């Protein structure tokens, strides 16, 4: 299951680099998946639970449309 989490992390990294997802959210999900992988490696998280959490995070990233680039001087 650890390999699946790492594969999901690699997919997120690729999606960020190819600009298929919002970069800021993608980097956060990427970091989260890395943390989950470390927790599994250390024995601090059940691998099945971590894989479900990783899949949920990737699903969230896929569900959120890419946010528009913020223009300089634009105030909302």
What are 22-56's pLDDT values in tens digits? 888 999 999 999 999 999 999 999 999 999 999 99
How much is the pLDDT for 75? 60
The rounded distance, in Å, linking the Cα atoms of 71 and 31 is: 26
Q: Is 29 exposed, middle or buried (0-12, 13-18, 19+ CB in 10 A)?
A: buried
Q: Which two tokens stand for residue 54?
A: 């990783």
Region 51-62 average pLDDT: 96
Q: Residue written as tokens 């959490």?
A: 53
The rounded distance, in Å, linking the Cα atoms of 57 and 73 is: 32
The reported pTM is 0.84
């Amino acid at each position: 299951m650890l390999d699946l989490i790492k594969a999901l992390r690699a997919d997120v990294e690729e999606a960020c680099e190819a600009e298929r997802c919002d970069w800021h959210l993608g980097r956060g999900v990427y970091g989260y998946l890395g943390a989950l992988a470390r927790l599994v490696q250390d024995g601090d998280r059940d691998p099945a639970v971590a894989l479900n959490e990783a899949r949920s995070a990737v699903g969230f990233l896929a569900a959120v449309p890419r946010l528009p680039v913020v223009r300089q001087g634009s105030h909302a």
